[in-house]
Amino acid sequence: MIDKHSPIPIYHQLEEQIKTKIESGEYKAGDSLPSEREYAEQLGISRMTVRQAITNLANKHYLYRIKGKGTFIAEQKLEQNLNGLTSFTEDMKARGMKPSNKLINFEIIPANEGLAEQLHIPVYTPVYEIKRIRLAEDEPMALERTYISANLIKGLTDEIAQSSLYYYIEDKLGLRIGKASQIFEATLANEEEIQYLKIEENSPVLFMKRVTQLADGTTFEVVKSSYRADRYKFMLDLER
Ligand code: GLP
């Protein structure tokens, strides 16, 4: 398994091998990693070298340690492809995971100046305000605050907000979603995010704001999402 004559440092070779086992699913989240001693004996390398590989993987969040108990395989981050205007429900289904929502709040509010400007509607026009926890396989992934123009997207109910909004808009109302612009920011979780996403204080979250238009160019939603930075990474294809 280890090539001692390779110019690649031994700790790095071991690191890559453990990483491959995690990524292929051979080592599963929550499993304990063989001990330093076992690796060292089995591979005929020093425990220091094994420790270096394990430390590097722990620093990269592939592994985590519990004092007195050992080293374990961490949950792997979901890679979210950003090439395409997809919904949370579609994203989860595409990777074979079960999406669900926990509705925190659903009401119709009058648009304040900020919302009115972003949705291109007059101030005080009715807007649905929807706050949902988005879950994958019953694990909270993101907290989402959605503002939808009520005069445009008619008949939204709390029941619909507990499933897919995009499905309702396209398949039930027969409207076509066109394009969106999205910004990303790194932030620290606030009180609400800590509570709803079940994350530790001072955890980083990936905040994004999406403003979405129907195919005819009318803006219908403003969405503020906070994704768990420990469970998500994003991918984008770039061309030039
Ligand atoms: C993602 C986007 C949101 C969008 C939502 C729709 O989470 N970040 O901007 O509103 O998908 O999801 P669904 O159709 O599952 O309700």
Q: Cα(210) to centroid of ligand 1, in Å?
A: 9
SS3 label, residue 20: helix
User: What span, in angstroms and rounded, lies between the C-alpha atoms of 62 and 97?
Assistant: 21
pLDDT in tens, 206-231: 999 999 999 999 999 999 999 999 88
Residue listed under structure tokens 């071991």: 14
User: What span, in angstroms and rounded, lies between the C-alpha atoms of 40 and 52?
Assistant: 12
Structural tokens at position 157: 């109910």
> Closest by alpha carbon to 32, among 66, 59, 80, 7?
66
β-strand partners of 49: none
Q: Cα(123) to centroid of ligand 1, in Å?
A: 25
Write down the ipTM of this complex: 0.98
Question: What is the CATH T-level fold of the domain 10-73, as seen in this structure?
Answer: Arc Repressor Mutant, subunit A (1.10.10)
165 lines ligand 1 (CB under 6 A): yes
User: What span, in angstroms and rounded, lies between the C-alpha atoms of 227 and 233?
Assistant: 9
Question: Which residue puts its alpha carbon closest to atom 6 of ligand 1?
Answer: 87
Query: Tell me, what DSSP letter sits at residue 32?
Result: B
Closest ligand 1 atom to Cα of 87? 11
Q: Cα(13) to centroid of ligand 1, in Å?
A: 40
Question: What is the CATH T-level fold of the domain 78-235, as seen in this structure?
Answer: Chorismate lyase (3.40.1410)
223 lines ligand 1 (CB under 6 A): yes
Domains in the chain: boundaries? 10-73, 78-235
Structural tokens at position 201: 């204080």
Residue type, 34: P
The fraction of the chain above a pLDDT of 70, given in percent, is 100
Opening angle at CA 187, ends 212 and 132, nearest 5: 50
The answer for residues whose C-beta is within 8 angstroms of residue 205's C-beta and 6 or more apart is 186, 187, 188, 189, 193, 197, 199, 226, 227, 228, 229
Which helix (H) or strand (E) covers residue 166, if one does? helix 165-167
Closest ligand 1 atom to Cα of 146? 10
Please determine, for residue 60, whether its predicted confidence score (pLDDT) is greater than 90. no
Q: Cα(176) to centroid of ligand 1, in Å?
A: 15
Confidence of residue 77 (pLDDT cuts 50, 70, 90): confident
